[in-house]
Amino acid sequence: MSFLDSIAAGLALVGNIESFLALFAGVAIGVIGGAIPGMSATMAVALTLPFTFAMQPITGILLLLGVYKGGIFGGSIPAILIKTPGTPASSATILDGYPMAEKGEAGRALGMALWASCTADVISNLSLILFAGWLASFALSFGPPEFFTLILFSLTIIAGVSGESLLRGALSALLGLLLATIGLDLVYGTNRFTFGDPNMMGGLNFIAVLIGLFAIPEILAMVWNPTAHVGKARSLGKNWVSFAEYRRSFKSIVRGSFIGVFLGSIPGIGAAPSAFLSYSEARRTSKNKENFGKGEIEGVAAAEAGNNGVAGATLIPLLALGVPGDVITAIIIGAFMIHGLQPGPMMFILNVDIIYGLFIGLIVSSVFLFLIGSVAIRGFKYVADIPKRILIPAVLVLCIYGVFAVNNNIFDVGVMFVMGWVGYLMVRYHIPAAPFLIAFILGPLLEDNFRQSMLMSGSDPMILLRGPITWFFWTLTVLTVIAIARAGVRAVRGAAVLSGDLDD
Amino acid sequence: MSIKSISAVCAVSLGLAGAAFAEYPERPINMVIPYGAGGATDISARTIAEPLGAAVGKPLVMANVTGAGGATGSVAVQNAKEDGYTMLFARVGSHSVNPAMKATLPYGLDDFRFVTVYEINPVACAVSPSSGITSMDDLVAKVNEGGVTYSSSGVGSLLHLAAVMVLKEFGVEEPLTQTTHIPQKGGGAAATAVLNGTATFLCTNSSAISSFVANKQLVPLMVTTKEPVAGFDVPTAADLGKPALHQLVGWTGIAGPDGLPDDVADKWGTWMAAATQDAEFLEKMTARGSVIELMSPEDANAFIEGQYNTFRKLVDELGMRIEG
């Protein structure tokens, strides 16, 4: 069957009102689900799954994909407005999105998040269509040693999000690494730091830590000093992103999209590290580096491009290999199986109409995301205009409900409050929270892959240098560390020159 | 208010209370799924929930309480009131492999009363095509040469125990020292590890690898059931003369806390009999490679007890029990 025939077959399959309706509904459900803290894109997809059983396979899968894409964008709305990421993938969006909202630029931040998300979505979908086969074979060459080096490199992001003091950033990262060790040991299955409590055996819940670290300190600060915000203009969310700003951030968006495509096509990493990596790269190469973390619109763009770039690319291992890249695609693969479809190389031969139908649906989904996203922003941005003394208690209720709903476990709510106090102390002592979060996500991956590598090689460390991919990431890591060290030395010298210490 | 009317009110309320007691359930039932959304247990639970809800006549509130290989959710039900309003979707991993392997588990089989087992998942062993292994004999020969590894979804998972048990049955004396276990996080990652060459083989639920087998990305070696499994053109354990491996299957069941009253357990038996007759449910589950086999509360307890004892014996014999 020629390419044109395949497209025609795909069109014939999705060219009905039902499919587009499902896709549209999916994106809408996703945006709303993603925007509710604690609901997360994963849960939105899982809750939609049973409804797809009765549908045509392609309609059902398009519905789920719509929820997925909408959810990843929707998460950025509360991240910007109330400093509570709706979905873990949008935690990097907080770094600049919330300061922008504080400055009364919520509308701009949300607009940029939408534009960056849609651009990344298009790039990600096109990569899926054009490079699926090639990227899939690449993904399979990623064993534990390759993962280890990739994650080692990713840990250099910490320098990018540490703010003014690298030392404080490192301290925060250490704390994150430490807390990530709680739970069952991967290789021996023994308990680590669980203090005999079954609730700790699964480790600390990620969403509870996330919300505790970012949202609760705001609330505690408000309790501590209820009138601090009075007189500061927080409104209004009426302003909108300009095309010039989009053009200025375009390079970061494209780079973030490709980082997303790359990390998304490798199973097992997910959208949050991709968003942070994209953010830190954008900061590293930006002219106004100092403004990052204080409300830089390019930071929002980079973070959102990084997480949405993953959304299309995670379908690469799913469709080409039948391997789910993250929890969400694991649920989507269930939908394929319920309908008797088996994703993998044979699907490109046996069900080529479905594959091309999905491709067409995905491209249309970017357009829907833009339309629905615009409407959602118009609705949600007025949250920024709500007086803080009314907003903050509402946020607290939302946080408690959201964290409880993740796992139906009251223990997680306790974790959230404890982490909230930790986060509050960190804010007071100017220790940035982002490195903590990155270490908390990447630490266990680093450890697991290192230990798996050692099991593979019988404890021979040379396996960590076993091929070109590992060499590539080792080189990249060394170069980045050198660059960070040089920048640090220069900063110290610069400070010394300014204070006149070098005069003799 | 006269004495007569008071006594009438009393009689009515007593009557209501009596009726409510007789007619379990009078309110929605909480169903705990101890594994994450989209996993095998979750999909199985949500598929049965539809016909089951119709049979029960009251809503079933499904809640994923995840963590620690199913332990967190199981503990939640272990500590729940024994009134039948909090029930658990128990799974092979949380309720026969984990108790057999983990000394530190905060619960045992005695803490639960099983009302049914409704789904059986055949276990299949598979390797990657590039390994050149095409039969169990090849695999055992490779093991004796050394350097064979196997992946699993974690320490104390069915996959972990299955690989060891299969090797042991096929005459490998010391499976723990002759091969290396490379645990992964989750069943999907375990299959990927074999695909990309990190591990040599894995033994897992046939449904988890059926698409890889259909796509010729994995080569199946055997299935542990008596009957052949659709899509797996390989010998069964019976064909290979290893009937002991028939015990090695995955399953999903429903359990309540230990003191669950008899009438509640009986009700579940009737409901499940009705629910598993549902054509749509049967079709969906068989499409995923499951065998629907309804067990009465007594059969379910005996089945799980038997599997636990087999596993426990193997674990003790090889010294695999996790004490720390």
How far apart (Å, rounded) are the C-alpha atoms in residues A468 and A275?
Answer: 25
Could you report the per-residue pLDDT of A283-342, keeping only the tens digit for each? Answer: 888 888 888 888 899 999 999 999 999 998 999 988 888 888 787 888 888 788 777 787
Could you report the per-residue pLDDT of A117-161, keeping only the tens digit for each? Answer: 999 999 999 999 888 878 877 888 888 999 999 999 988 888 778
Cis peptide before B25 (omega within 30 of 0): yes
Q: Would you call B178 an interface residue with chain A, using a CB distance cutoff of 8 Å? A: no
Please state, in angstroms and as integers, the Cα–Cα distance from residue A93 to each residue in A87, A221, A243, A307, A407, following that order.
11, 21, 20, 9, 24
pLDDT for A224: 84
Q: How close, in Å, is residue A205 to chain B by CA atoms?
A: 9
Average pLDDT over residues A244-260: 93
Could you report the per-residue pLDDT of B180-199, keeping only the tens digit for each? Answer: 999 998 888 898 899 989 99
Contacts of A452 in chain B (CB under 8 A): 182-184, 198
Q: How many A/B residue pairs have CB atoms within 8 Å?
A: 153
Instruction: Give the residue from A395, A343, A305 showing the smallest Cα distance to A76.
Output: A305
pTM of the predicted model as reported, rounded to 2 decimal places: 0.85
Q: Would you call B286 an interface residue with chain A, using a CB distance cutoff of 8 Å? A: no
In the stretch 287-316 of chain B, residues with CB closer than 8 A to chain A read 287-288
Tell me if B215 and A346 make a contact (CB, 8 A cut-off).
Answer: yes
Task: Kindly identify which residue of chain B lies nearest to residue A458, measuring between CA atoms.
Answer: B180
Q: What is the mean pLDDT of chain A?
A: 87
pLDDT for A424: 94
Q: Would you call A468 an interface residue with chain B, using a CB distance cutoff of 8 Å? A: no
Percent of chain A with pLDDT over 90: 42
Q: What is the mean pLDDT of chain B?
A: 87
Q: Which of A187, A202, A340 sits opposite B155 (nearest CB)?
A: A187
Please report which confidence band the pLDDT of residue B16 belongs to, taking 50, 70 and 90 as the band edges. Answer: very low
Tell me if B215 and A50 make a contact (CB, 8 A cut-off).
Answer: no
Q: Phi/psi at B90 (nearest 5 deg)? A: -85, 150
Could you report the per-residue pLDDT of A361-418, keeping only the tens digit for each? Answer: 999 999 999 999 999 998 887 787 788 888 888 889 888 988 888 777 889 999 999 9
Q: Would you call A405 an interface residue with chain B, using a CB distance cutoff of 8 Å? A: no
Q: Would you call B279 an interface residue with chain A, using a CB distance cutoff of 8 Å? A: no
Task: Kindly identify which residue of chain B lies nearest to residue A459, measuring between CA atoms.
Answer: B180
Is A233's pLDDT higher than 60? no
Q: Would you call B41 an interface residue with chain A, using a CB distance cutoff of 8 Å? A: no
Average pLDDT over residues A490-499: 70
Preferred mutation among B211, B212, B286, B315 to probe A, highest tally of A CBs within 10 A: B211
Q: Would you call A182 an interface residue with chain B, using a CB distance cutoff of 8 Å? A: no
Is A68's pLDDT higher than 90? yes
Structure tokens at A145: 């040693």
Residues in chain B: 324
Q: How close, in Å, is residue A58 to chain B by CA atoms?
A: 17
Asked if residues B30 and B84 have their Cβ atoms less than 8 Å apart, the reply is no
- Cα torsion A338, A343, A349, A354 to 10°: value is 60
Is B142's pLDDT higher than 80? yes
pLDDT for A231: 55
Average pLDDT over residues A436-449: 91
Is B33's pLDDT higher than 80? yes
Task: Kindly identify which residue of chain A lies nearest to residue B47, measuring between CA atoms.
Answer: A50
**H-helix or E-strand containing A192?**
strand A191-192
Tell me if A330 and B39 make a contact (CB, 8 A cut-off).
Answer: yes
Q: Would you call A330 an interface residue with chain B, using a CB distance cutoff of 8 Å? A: yes
pLDDT for B15: 42
Q: Pick the range with the lowest mean pLDDT from A17-26, A379-388, B26-35.
A: A379-388
Preferred mutation among B182, B200, B205, B285 to probe A, highest tally of A CBs within 10 A: B182
Angle formed by the axes of helices B297-318 and B158-169, nearest 10° = 70
pLDDT for B125: 96
pLDDT for B161: 94
Q: Phi/psi at B62 (nearest 5 deg)? A: -90, 130
Could you report the per-residue pLDDT of A74-95, keeping only the tens digit for each? Answer: 999 999 988 888 888 899 999 9
Q: Which of A190, A334, A448 sits opposite B322 (nearest CB)?
A: A190
pLDDT for B72: 87
Structure tokens at A493: 């010298």
Residue A483 or residue B234, greater confidence: B234
Could you report the per-residue pLDDT of B284-324, keeping only the tens digit for each? Answer: 888 778 889 999 888 999 999 999 999 999 999 998 988 86
Tell me if A188 and B322 make a contact (CB, 8 A cut-off).
Answer: yes
In total, how many domains does chain A have?
Answer: 1
Cis peptide before A236 (omega within 30 of 0): yes
Could you report the per-residue pLDDT of B160-174, keeping only the tens digit for each? Answer: 999 999 999 999 989
CB atoms within 10 A of CB A466: 17
Q: Would you call B46 an interface residue with chain A, using a CB distance cutoff of 8 Å? A: yes
Please report which confidence band the pLDDT of residue A425 belongs to, taking 50, 70 and 90 as the band edges. Answer: very high
Strand order in the sheet with B148-152: B179-183, B148-152, B201-205, B123-127, B219-223
Tell me if A189 and B322 make a contact (CB, 8 A cut-off).
Answer: yes
Please report which confidence band the pLDDT of residue A29 belongs to, taking 50, 70 and 90 as the band edges. Answer: very high
pLDDT for B18: 42
Tell me if A344 and B217 make a contact (CB, 8 A cut-off).
Answer: yes
How far apart (Å, rounded) are the C-alpha atoms in residues A292 and A99?
Answer: 10
- Predicted-complex ipTM score: 0.82
Q: Give me the domain span that covers residue A308.
A: 3-503
For chain B, how far is it from start to end, CA to CA, in angstroms? 68
Asked if residues A79 and A272 have their Cβ atoms less than 8 Å apart, the reply is no
Question: HEC states along chain B?
Answer: CCHHHHHHHHHHHHHHHHHHHHCCCCCCEEEEECCCCCCHHHHHHHHHHHHHHHHHCCCEEEEECCCHHHHHHHHHHHCCCCCCCEEEEEEHHHHHHHHHHECCCCCCHHHEEEEEEEEEECEEEEECHHHCCCCHHHHHHHHHHCCEEEEECCCCCHHHHHHHHHHHHCCCCCHHHHEEEEECCCHHHHHHHHHCCCCCEEEEEHHHHHHHHHCCCCEEEEECCCCCCCCCCCCECCCCCCHHHHHCCEEEEEEEECCCCHHHHHHHHHHHHHHCCCHHHHHHHHHCCCEECCCCHHHHHHHHHHHHHHHHHHHHHHCCCECC
Is B14's pLDDT higher than 70? no
Residue A9 or residue B310, greater confidence: B310
Instruction: Give the residue from A80, A160, A62, A122 showing the smallest Cα distance to A308.
Output: A122
> Would you report the helix, strand and coil content of chain A in percent, each value rounded to 5?
75, 0, 25
